[in-house]
Structure 1
């Protein structure tokens, strides 16, 4: 009996020793990832968020040694998909590539939020920066922001300015534009950039504030006139277009950004490895070239810098929401 007990004891010891490295590897990120990783987008396919996520997923695959699958979970203006991410297991196999507004604007415009920011989010990195652009219908006859403001003063109430969604960044930027310039324009929120672009080209509205990428092809085709970028610096895609600061409104800023986030409690070694992989992906020539061609900029920040940006932007947008009284539908 004693010999049997000793034999069983040795087998248990060997089994424990064999399992220990795998368990330790799982804790320190050494075994991660050993299966495909999902990158969740909180919007439908084809939009700017989806395009950005697919570029990064393609670049991340070889870096991580696993396929990175893009999964679209649309609904609730970005809330549903973001909520899915933060409530997923914190094991590194689900992370989100989402717009910054889901973290810094929606908590102030939604009456009930299913997740808390930043408490339930592990920030990984900002991945793309996108300026908001003010464009006009060519038939309006203005090519600069000063000319637009002069027209608005001479013909108050004539101009409509569309936005790519209610209570989102472009809507709040249009309200900020009206408050800071004193222009008597009517703000018209659309359900996305596409219908707003269609109506601007058709002349149903005269002005539009939206992310630069969906506007850029129409600007280049001459279907809309760029007046200013609500950004700190000019865009290489449109180097001739001034910033709002250059035309006298330095506080009219609205730089949209997209980021990678994971659920709260993601093990630090996995978070560090994923953040480093995102840095490598942001420096991939194909990612940088494709985003630049669309008027966007590939980016990377440390998780700490992203957290600081989230807090700063959240407070700025909170004040704008309070002043405007805007609420999501």
Structure 2
């Protein structure tokens, strides 16, 4: 049986979080596998193109993908036509990074925490706007879940990516934003935005003083973005196990752990079995949100 030698790790567009995570892991995987691991970016279709490329590659371990979990758990419910099936076409290898969704506000809003924000929303129904880092993605769906569970009359405004939404929030053009923590962290530290809560199961090691939505009374408002390694269906078990073990070792490398922590993310590892369980759990949760909200990708 052929063993993987110099496997390319496919990622989304250059410079984005998937690309950054893939390159960190590629550097750490090289010494573990005793081979060069190349990163090749595949952009398009909100992650569908890159994921599809990986899942249609030869199942020999020479190509695996580093993708965001939404490509497996959200996109199949928001897109009417998908080129791959989940979980049938996927060999899960490991979750490699977790990123909490953070709710932040412009300082001028005057809210220091989620309870104060809810009080403002009650006093000013329909006057608050909450932007998201894209339409029909995790931040958009999280904002819709927040609005429904909190009973807050806020206008949800999807942006085309986190960067323009962050720019408008810092400029005071919008009041609230739900997005991945990493692009928000520099502005939180600079004081140009206030973090109100983390929609995560546990507190972020990067911002340990910030409460989770569960702590504030919304235990069902969970939205941890996660990134994972996947391979095509039919990847031999021994090869999958070798890549998984290498990723486990790489996740503990200081260059991976420390760099991700500095950006507000957490290096992690899960067994293929646990990753499959997470895929199924999150897929069902987001399916219900999509059905309830009626959100679909254009």
TM-score band w.r.t. shorter chain: over 0.9
Question: Whole-Å Cα distance in 2 between the matches of residues 315 and 113 of structure 1?
Answer: 17
Matched, 1:284 2:244: no
1:223-282 deviation per Cα after TM superposition (whole angstroms, max 9, x unaligned): 100000001111111111110011111111101100000011111111111011000001
TM-score, structure 2 normalization: 0.98
The aligned length equals 298
Question: Whole-Å Cα distance in 2 between the matches of residues 283 and 51 of structure 1?
Answer: 17
Question: Whole-Å Cα distance in 1 between the matches of residues 259 and 103 of structure 2?
Answer: 22
Q: Where does residue 10 of structure 2 map in the other structure?
A: 40
Structure 1 outlier segments of 4+, above 2 Å:
none
Question: Whole-Å Cα distance in 2 between the matches of residues 68 and 193 of structure 1?
Answer: 29
Q: Where does residue 171 of structure 1 map in the other structure?
A: 140
Q: Where does residue 4 of structure 1 map in the other structure?
A: none
Question: Whole-Å Cα distance in 1 between the matches of residues 17 and 192 of structure 2?
Answer: 20
Q: Where does residue 65 of structure 1 map in the other structure?
A: 34
CA deviation after TM superposition for structure 1 residue 285, in Å: 1.6
2:282 corresponds, among 309, 313, 321, to 313
Question: Whole-Å Cα distance in 2 between the matches of residues 224 and 47 of structure 1?
Answer: 22
CA deviation after TM superposition for structure 1 residue 168, in Å: 0.5
Question: Whole-Å Cα distance in 2 between the matches of residues 203 and 72 of structure 1?
Answer: 34
Larger Rg: 1
TM-score, structure 1 normalization: 0.89
1:125-159 deviation per Cα after TM superposition (whole angstroms, max 9, x unaligned): 00001100000001111111111010011011111
- Aligned ranges 1:145-156 → 2 under 5 Å: 145-156=114-125
1:237 corresponds, among 182, 206, 213, to 206
Higher helix share: 1
Cα RMSD for the two superposed structures? 0.8
- Aligned ranges 1:1-329 → 2 under 5 Å: 25-26=1-2, 29=3, 32-33=4-5, 36-41=6-11, 43-329=12-298
Question: Whole-Å Cα distance in 2 between the matches of residues 195 and 328 of structure 1?
Answer: 19
Question: Whole-Å Cα distance in 2 between the matches of residues 206 and 99 of structure 1?
Answer: 27
CA deviation after TM superposition for structure 1 residue 286, in Å: 1.6
1:165-204 deviation per Cα after TM superposition (whole angstroms, max 9, x unaligned): 1110000000000000011111111111111101111111
Segments of structure 2 that go 5 or more residues without pairing to the other structure are none
Question: Whole-Å Cα distance in 1 between the matches of residues 163 and 182 of structure 2?
Answer: 11
Segments of structure 1 that go 5 or more residues without pairing to the other structure are 1-24
